């Protein structure tokens, strides 16, 4: 029998709050943190709304490490430290080689790229900052988490645009199952509130001109946000042996590739990832009470996701509680799946389904129960978290109560 993998700690920060419980409180209350953005790195971008972390918490990262980090690495380290504390994890000489970290990243460390172009092309500086390469690389957050917590086991970054977190978490569970590690810190991070990135998204014309209204007939697109989420994963036996508080079980994961178009989604790709996930978890569709949707708030995604859910869940699709928490924390790209995992874990623990905020008008193409605006109390035995992405790289996680 394969090893059961459980979550014993969570950490996170995004526009909703700077720790996992603050984020959950806001989600449960259905409060959206989307609003006007004011970050100086945006320069003259005219972006209608976003979801920023206005003030970072006291993080205690020493200056020597800080100078070498782009913002996405710092966010990941803050979340990882919180998760490790929450799990009561102590890392020392005896276990550090058995603990690793996998951090999903959708973009990269772009602040330094931005600064360099501006310094060289606009201000006539002769050279790039010396930390440009190590700050920008997508593997940097995993490296910094490892340095920050002294983790000497498997350490690497994972990237698949908007499904990066889910791929990272599933991959971390695999490291434990394969015997390469006993404990893994896994999740995702991104800090895309930077001029160059926003100009790129603007050009795609998928950004909403007001806020993010997933599944609502008047939805206008997605809203970008920044954040990070990290969880502590370990085998059930390892958690029990050290007396850890088990938050939920990672029951399974399912992946698929659309093999179709770099941006346009398909119904079949998400459908097959959800099916693969349920099969991996050994769960019947009827055993799922909550589905945290990818729910970006674009016309295409929400309609296609609804169709895919119906194919997988059949009649149960209408009994299932669905919501898109992106309506509150926005689309944090590589961090989205990890932030949404906080929603799933807490929904299971508290028996509360967080709502889809900003919902106004029913859409006949999105006619499932999307928990509009107000949280709903119901027992959640198991939850599924969808993440789809440009590139057609789909990753779905299933969690269940322990």
Partner 1 sequence: MADQLATEIIDKIKEHAEPGDEEITASTELTALGIHSLELTEIIFDLEEQYGIEIEMNTVDAWSNLKNVGDMIEAVRALIAQKN
Active site residues: 162, 294, 331
> From the CB of 127, what's the least distance to partner 1, in Å?
7
* Nearest CA among 291, 297, 294, 323 for reference residue 214: 297
Please report, as ranges, the residues that interact with partner 1 according to CB under 8 A. Answer: 62-65, 67-68, 126-127, 129-131, 134
Q: Between residues 139 and 391, which has the closer beta carbon with respect to partner 1?
A: 139
> From the CB of 67, what's the least distance to partner 1, in Å?
5
Q: How far is CA 400 from CA 139, 294, 321, 359, 397, in A?
A: 30, 19, 15, 28, 10
> From the CB of 198, what's the least distance to partner 1, in Å?
28
Q: Between residues 130 and 240, which has the closer beta carbon with respect to partner 1?
A: 130
* Nearest CA among 399, 397, 398, 391 for reference residue 159: 391
Q: Between residues 129 and 351, which has the closer beta carbon with respect to partner 1?
A: 129
Answer left, alpha or beta for residue 333, where phi above 0 means left and psi between -120 and 50 means alpha. Answer: left
d(CA 97, CA 100): 8
> From the CB of 131, what's the least distance to partner 1, in Å?
6
Q: Between residues 21 and 65, which has the closer beta carbon with respect to partner 1?
A: 65
Q: Between residues 134 and 139, which has the closer beta carbon with respect to partner 1?
A: 134
> From the CB of 81, what's the least distance to partner 1, in Å?
20
Q: Between residues 125 and 319, which has the closer beta carbon with respect to partner 1?
A: 125
> From the CB of 64, what's the least distance to partner 1, in Å?
5
**Euclidean distance between the first and final Cα of the chain, in Å?**
17
> From the CB of 128, what's the least distance to partner 1, in Å?
10
Q: Between residues 134 and 391, which has the closer beta carbon with respect to partner 1?
A: 134
């Amino acid at each position: 029998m394969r090893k059961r993998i459980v979550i014993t700690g969570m950490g996170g920060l995004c526009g909703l709050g700077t720790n996992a419980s603050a984020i959950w409180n806001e989600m449960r209350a259905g409060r959206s943190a989307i609003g006007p953005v004011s970050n100086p790195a945006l320069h003259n971008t005219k972006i209608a709304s976003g979801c920023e972390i206005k003030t970072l918490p006291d993080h205690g990262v020493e200056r020597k490490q800080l100078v070498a980090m782009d913002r996405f690495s710092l966010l990941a380290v803050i979340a990882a430290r919180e998760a490790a504390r929450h799990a009561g994890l102590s890392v020392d000489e005896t276990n550090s080689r058995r603990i690793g970290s996998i951090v999903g990243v959708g973009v990269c460390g772009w602040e330094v790229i931005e600064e360099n172009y501006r310094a060289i092309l606009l201000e006539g500086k002769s050279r790039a900052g010396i930390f440009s390469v190590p700050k920008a690389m997508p593997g940097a957050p995993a490296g910094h988490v490892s340095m920050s917590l002294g983790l000497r086991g498997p350490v690497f970054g994972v990237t698949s645009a908007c499904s990066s977190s889910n791929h990272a978490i599933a991959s971390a569970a695999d490291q434990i199952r394969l015997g390469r590690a006993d404990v893994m810190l896994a999740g995702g991070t991104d800090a895309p509130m930077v001029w160059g990135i926003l100009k790129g998204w603007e050009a795609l014309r998928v950004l909403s001109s007001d806020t993010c209204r997933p599944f609502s007939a008047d939805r206008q697109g997605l809203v970008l946000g920044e954040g990070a989420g990290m969880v502590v994963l370990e085998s059930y036996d390892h958690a029990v042996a050290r007396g850890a508080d088990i938050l939920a079980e990672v029951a399974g994961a399912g992946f698929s590739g659309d093999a179709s178009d770099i941006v346009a989604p398909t119904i079949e790709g998400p459908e097959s990832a959800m099916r693969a996930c349920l099969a991996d978890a050994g769960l019947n569709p009827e055993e799922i009470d909550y589905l945290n949707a990818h729910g970006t708030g674009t016309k295409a995604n929400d309609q296609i996701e609804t169709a895919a859910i119906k194919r997988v869940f059949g009649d149960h699709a209408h009994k299932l509680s669905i919501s898109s928490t992106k309506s509150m924390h926005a689309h944090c790209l590589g961090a989205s799946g990890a932030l949404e995992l906080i929603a799933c874990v807490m929904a299971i623990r508290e028996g509360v389904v967080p709502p889809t905020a900003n919902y106004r008008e029913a859409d006949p193409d999105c006619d499932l129960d999307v928990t509009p605006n107000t949280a709903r109390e119901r027992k959640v035995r198991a939850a599924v978290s969808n993440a789809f992405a440009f590139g057609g790289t789909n990753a779905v996680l299933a969690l269940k109560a322990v």
